Copies of this chain bind each other. A is one copy, B any other.
Amino acid sequence: MVKIGLLGAGRIGRVHAVNIAGHARSELVAVSDVNEDAARSLAKVYGAKAISSEEMLQDNSIDAVLIATSTDTHSEFIEKATAAGKAVLCEKPVDLSLDRAKKCLAAVSGSGMPVMVGFNRRFDSNFAAIKASVEAGEIGKPELLSITSFDPAPPPISYVKLSGGLFRDMMIHDFDMANFIMGEMPKSVHAVGTSIVDPEIGTAGDVDTAVVTLTYADGRIAVIKNSRRAVYGYDQRIELLGSEGLLSAANVLENTVSKATKAGVTSAKPEFFFLERYMRAYASEWDAFVSAILDGTPMPITLRDGVAALALAEAATQSRNSGRPVEPPL
């Protein structure tokens, strides 16, 4: 049984709390949040204690922490928690600053403590099936990867301004997915972006629609499409063309019902957003983290993976600004 401290009692912290408490081999013992009421309220549901983050890091009965605080605190908490001898599962992204993330990586490397970054989509059963099929050689040699990733609606402008931009905040998931499927970093990143969904997003210096092309040393290509608005729901698909076939992961729909009338045949929309679509993936992610700790196996996603995705986001941001392809700075 792993004893867990949860740093952050916001929306994503609450999602993780369910899985921590519900897992047969983990126990939620403490919750902290800068909003102490939020921490107390969440802790109460699971019979955990609400404490400060300092107390949590000093509590030797806590084996591991899950970091679900605001992004600007991730690197510091990772460093402190590993220094305190705790295993870490940290939400994405590691940091908005690539430099800061690299420093964190260097600091942690010395500690020998296991750190996992929460790229939940790797645990989606559909994408995992794609990965397994590729690894099994079922479509031969991969050649061209396509990732479609659209959110149902743009976040508030206040969020956009603090987000680090679409590439670091949203597409970072897709950069990690590309690294996961392709198994290595691309040698070049080219990005185009526009604020066609909401000009205010452009005024805030960000884009809401973007296409990024990645090229690999061996000639493979990947293309990632992002939009902040797909009114029909969360659109999360992957296609991989290989020398012997094509793998496609379609959306998960709200139900399997279709209705045929004079007006056409209507079927269900994709699951609305990430909490619905990736509900099971978060549980699998947690299980993988607990298993790695208790069974002493390597973390399925490392801190280096988190920094690598951030390096691609950095390159995409630069490419979008300069109009030119950029080599990822890692």
0/1 string, A212-253, CB within 8 A of B gives 1: 010100111101010101111101000001011111111111
A138 contact set on B, CB distance < 8 A: 259, 261
The count of chain A contact residues (Cβ–Cβ below 8 Å) is 71
* Chain A residues numbered 7-64 whose CB sits less than 8 Å from any CB in chain B: 22
A130 contact set on B, CB distance < 8 A: 257
State whether B133 touches A241 (Cβ < 8 A). no
Q: Which residue of B lies closest to A231 (CB)?
A: B262
A292 contact set on B, CB distance < 8 A: none
Q: Which residue of B lies closest to A252 (CB)?
A: B256
0/1 string, A135-176, CB within 8 A of B gives 1: 000110101101010100000000000000000000000000
A143 contact set on B, CB distance < 8 A: 196-197, 209, 227
State whether A218 touches B196 (Cβ < 8 A). yes
A126 contact set on B, CB distance < 8 A: 255-257
Stretch of A82-90, A103-111, A263-271, A283-291 at the chain-chain interface? A263-271
Assuming A213-B211, A219-B194, A232-B265, is B257 touching A247 (CB within 8 A)?
Answer: yes
State whether A260 touches B243 (Cβ < 8 A). no
A148 contact set on B, CB distance < 8 A: 146
- Kindly name the residue among A194, A223, A264 whose own CB sees the greatest number of chain B CB atoms within 10 A: A264
Q: Does A297 make an interface contact (CB < 8 A)?
A: no
Q: How far is the CB of A116 from chain B (nearest CB, A)?
A: 24
Q: How far is the CB of A144 from chain B (nearest CB, A)?
A: 6
A325 contact set on B, CB distance < 8 A: 323-324
User: How far does the alpha carbon of A233 sit from the alpha carbon of B139 in the complex, in Å?
Assistant: 14
Q: Which of B146, B213, B225, B232 makes the CB contact (< 8 A) with A144? A: B225
State whether A245 touches B264 (Cβ < 8 A). no
Q: How far is the CB of A242 from chain B (nearest CB, A)?
A: 9
A225 contact set on B, CB distance < 8 A: 144, 146, 223
State whether A230 touches B241 (Cβ < 8 A). yes
State whether B266 touches A256 (Cβ < 8 A). no
State whether A129 touches B194 (Cβ < 8 A). no
Q: Which of B197, B211, B220, B245 makes the CB contact (< 8 A) with A196? A: B220
Q: How far is the CB of A301 from chain B (nearest CB, A)?
A: 21
A270 contact set on B, CB distance < 8 A: 260
Q: Which of B139, B213, B223 makes the CB contact (< 8 A) with A261? A: B139
A247 contact set on B, CB distance < 8 A: 257-259
Q: How far is the CB of A278 from chain B (nearest CB, A)?
A: 13
Assuming A227-B144, A247-B257, is B267 touching A264 (CB within 8 A)?
Answer: yes
User: How far does the alpha carbon of A223 sit from the alpha carbon of B221 in the complex, in Å?
Assistant: 13
- Kindly name the residue among A130, A133, A144, A229 whose own CB sees the greatest number of chain B CB atoms within 10 A: A144
State whether A223 touches B220 (Cβ < 8 A). no
A229 contact set on B, CB distance < 8 A: 243
Q: Does A190 make an interface contact (CB < 8 A)?
A: yes
User: How far does the alpha carbon of A22 sit from the alpha carbon of B325 in the complex, in Å?
Assistant: 52
A209 contact set on B, CB distance < 8 A: 143-144, 219, 221
Q: Does A125 make an interface contact (CB < 8 A)?
A: yes
